[in-house]
């Protein structure tokens, strides 16, 4: 039976309209849920009005979010092979963005975990990792390119069977008026990469299904998420499973928050961020 | 007088053929310039030519960015370089890759052993976090990159995590990392072969708050050479 016959002929506008409308309400595993409040998986007691966005992103796919200051974005590695590559921009001035080098250098620490700041190139905190039961993340290997995926899997195009992270991030960036040259080095959640004494990369991979990371945004931000395998994942098959995203209303850090008092570098970073936000009325 | 007085951005005259690294003997000198301590530098290096950097006085961090001269949206990418070689340090044989994965330059000769890809550039803003707000009016690499990049139509959006030649950033087993005392010494050099026409942007690092320059920024020499026909 053809699809058209499910809702009658599509030879006329009214038939085509009926056919199109008959598709509404279809549920698949990986999709946004709108209104977000009707989705499952929210923290207990979270008011419906505070539930901002709900989406499960397929392996080899991407999404983007524009978030306000204080918003918490939760990532869940549902099946254990998600790898969420993140690019973050300050919504108030899009040329301020995640700076991986500053993030690791300023915190004297390359391995991200709870309490870590994701820093911009302007000495400010874009987001804070406020919860993390994975601890397996990556600040070194970045995301994949079309050329590398073509060589490894036979295809790297955004619409192919093994999309490259960069191809997806270019599309996500374009949705916010950003060009390829706006894309900085990214960090990746849920697939660990470590460095040996001689500098060699060691892929440690996932800690298993169900790992959760929460980011709290300290500035209004554009967040691009590409869910693709790490470029140093040694498995021959393109292995990428869904990541669930929930975003809800929260409160940005104050100078008294534990993340802001943890180190002198953090105190100055949150100081810079909070003064900037007040000055701009954010 | 600025807070970090002692600046000297006046051009330094070429050092002349007598002091050339011996391995360059017989090659055609396309360009021979000294980058003043704390200053910026840029040049287009043609495909096949070699850029040799000489650390004249030792332990001078050379912050280094690289673009496809024909399309500056294609530029050096630390993560693509690291992923492709499976190692965070640059050493002889390392290929400097673009955000597309393409080869931009190859480190064909290295007398130091390893160079940094993860520490990035110092900036007034990052200095405020690392050392305190009293350092904000000191000169910094990002200022050099912005000033020199502007000559080529590049801006803040075009600056990404850069290479730090001659800088030493160990990563310990628990992920602790930091800029520590350097491995270089006076006169040590490295050479990079351009795999296509590339635009090279350099900040001869002015940092005085960590050991990357031995707390004393010094000049470096830039030589572009070509095989004799």
Q: Is the pLDDT of residue A121 over 90?
A: yes
In 3D, which of B227, B212, B197, B219 has the Cα closest to residue B53? Answer: B219
How close is the nearest chain B Cα to the Cα of A57, in Å?
A: 24
A84-90 β-sheet, strand order: A61-67, A221-227, A84-90, A187-189
Model confidence pLDDT, tens digit, residues B167-218: 999 999 999 999 999 999 999 999 999 999 999 999 999 999 999 999 999 9
Residue B65 contacts A, CB cutoff 8 Å: no
On chain B, the residues whose CB falls within 8 A of the CB of A122 are 125
B102 pLDDT tier (thresholds 50, 70, 90): very high
Give the three-state DSSP class for B144.
helix
How close is the nearest chain A Cα to the Cα of B120, in Å?
A: 5
A6 pLDDT tier (thresholds 50, 70, 90): low
Q: What is the pTM of this model?
A: 0.94
Query: Whole-angstrom Cα distance, residue A264 to residue A106?
Result: 10
Average pLDDT for A27-48: 97
Q: Is the pLDDT of residue A122 over 70?
A: yes
Nearest residue in B to A150, CA atom: B101
Average model confidence (pLDDT) across chain B? 93
Query: What per-residue confidence (pLDDT) applies to B17?
Result: 64
Residue B115 contacts A, CB cutoff 8 Å: no
Model confidence pLDDT, tens digit, residues B32-72: 999 999 999 999 999 999 999 999 999 999 999 999 999 99
How close is the nearest chain A Cα to the Cα of B54, in Å?
A: 24
Query: What per-residue confidence (pLDDT) applies to B19?
Result: 81
Q: Is the pLDDT of residue A250 over 90?
A: yes
Assigned token pair, B106: 């190859």
Residue B153 contacts A, CB cutoff 8 Å: no
Residue B79 contacts A, CB cutoff 8 Å: yes
Nearest residue in B to A187, CA atom: B79
Assigned token pair, A249: 């209303």
| Interface with chain B: mutation pick from A107, A142, A183, A269, highest number of B CBs within 10 Å | A142
Q: Is the pLDDT of residue B12 over 80?
A: no
Query: What per-residue confidence (pLDDT) applies to B3?
Result: 46
Model confidence pLDDT, tens digit, residues A61-100: 999 999 999 999 999 999 999 999 999 999 999 999 999 9
How big is chain A, counted in residues?
282
Binding-face residues of B in 198-217 toward A, CB within 8 A: none
How close is the nearest chain A Cα to the Cα of B227, in Å?
A: 31
Nearest residue in B to A188, CA atom: B79
Assigned token pair, A274: 């909070």
Average pLDDT for A120-132: 98
B11 pLDDT tier (thresholds 50, 70, 90): very low
DSSP letter (8 states) at residue B19: G
Residue B103 contacts A, CB cutoff 8 Å: no
Model confidence pLDDT, tens digit, residues A199-222: 999 999 999 999 999 999 999 999
Q: Is the pLDDT of residue B145 over 80?
A: yes
Nearest residue in B to A194, CA atom: B175
Query: What per-residue confidence (pLDDT) applies to B229?
Result: 83
| Interface with chain B: mutation pick from A90, A96, A100, A102, highest number of B CBs within 10 Å | A102
| Interface with chain B: mutation pick from A103, A157, A181, highest number of B CBs within 10 Å | A181
Query: What per-residue confidence (pLDDT) applies to B9?
Result: 46
Tell me if A145 and B155 make a contact (CB, 8 A cut-off).
no
Sign of CA pseudo-dihedral B179, B43, B142, A125? negative
């Amino acid at each position: 039976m053809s699809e058209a016959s499910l809702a009658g002929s599509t030879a006329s506008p009214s038939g085509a309209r009926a056919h199109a409308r008959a598709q509404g309400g279809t549920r698949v595993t990986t999709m946004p849920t709108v209104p977000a409040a009707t989705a499952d998986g929210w923290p207990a007691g979270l008011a419906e009005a505070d539930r901002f966005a709900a989406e499960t992103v397929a392996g080899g796919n991407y999404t983007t979010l524009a978030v306000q200051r204080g918003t918490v974005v939760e990532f869940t590695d549902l099946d254990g092979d998600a790898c969420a590559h993140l690019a973050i921009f300050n919504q108030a001035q899009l040329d301020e963005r995640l700076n991986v080098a500053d993030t690791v250098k300023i915190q004297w620490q390359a391995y991200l975990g709870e309490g870590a700041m994701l820093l911009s190139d302007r000495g400010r905190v874009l987001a804070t990792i406020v919860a993390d039961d994975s601890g397996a993340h990556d600040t070194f290997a970045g995301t994949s390119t079309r050329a590398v995926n073509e060589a490894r899997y036979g295809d790297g195009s955004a619409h192919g069977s093994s999309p490259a992270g960069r191809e997806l991030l270019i599309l996500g960036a374009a949705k916010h008026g950003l060009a390829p040259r706006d894309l900085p080095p990214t960090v990746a959640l849920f697939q660990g990469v470590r460095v040996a004494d001689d500098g060699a990369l060691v892929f440690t991979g996932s800690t298993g299904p169900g790992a959760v990371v929460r980011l709290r945004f300290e500035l209004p931000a554009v967040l691009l998420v590409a869910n693709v395998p790490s470029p140093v994942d040694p498995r021959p098959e393109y292995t990428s499973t869904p990541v669930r995203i929930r975003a809800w209303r929260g409160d940005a850090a104050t100078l008294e928050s534990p993340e802001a008092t943890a180190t002198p570098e953090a105190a100055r970073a949150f100081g810079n961020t909070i003064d900037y936000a007040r000055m701009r009325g954010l | 007088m600025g807070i970090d007085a002692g600046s000297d951005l006046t051009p330094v005259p070429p050092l002349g053929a007598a002091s050339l690294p011996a391995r360059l003997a017989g090659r055609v000198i396309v360009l021979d310039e000294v980058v003043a301590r704390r200053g910026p530098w840029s040049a287009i290096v043609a495909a096949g030519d070699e850029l040799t950097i000489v650390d004249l006085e030792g332990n001078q961090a050379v912050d280094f960015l690289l673009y496809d001269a024909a399309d500056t949206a294609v530029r050096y990418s630390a993560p693509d370089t690291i992923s492709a070689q499976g190692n965070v340090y640059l050493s002889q044989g390392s290929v400097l890759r673009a955000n597309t994965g393409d080869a931009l330059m190859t480190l064909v000769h290295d007398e130091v052993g390893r160079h940094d890809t993860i520490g990035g550039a110092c900036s007034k803003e990052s200095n405020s976090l690392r050392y305190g707000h009293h350092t904000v009016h000191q000169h910094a690499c990002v200022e050099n990159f912005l000033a020199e990049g502007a000559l080529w139509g590049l801006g803040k959006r075009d600056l990404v995590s850069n290479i730090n030649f001659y800088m030493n950033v160990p990563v310990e087993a628990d992920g602790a990392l930091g800029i520590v005392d350097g491995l270089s010494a006076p006169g040590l050099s490295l050479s990079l072969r351009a795999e296509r026409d590339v635009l090279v942007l350099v900040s001869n690092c002015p940092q005085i708050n960590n050991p990357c320059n031995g707390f004393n920024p010094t000049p470096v020499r830039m030589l572009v050479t070509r095989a004799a026909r």
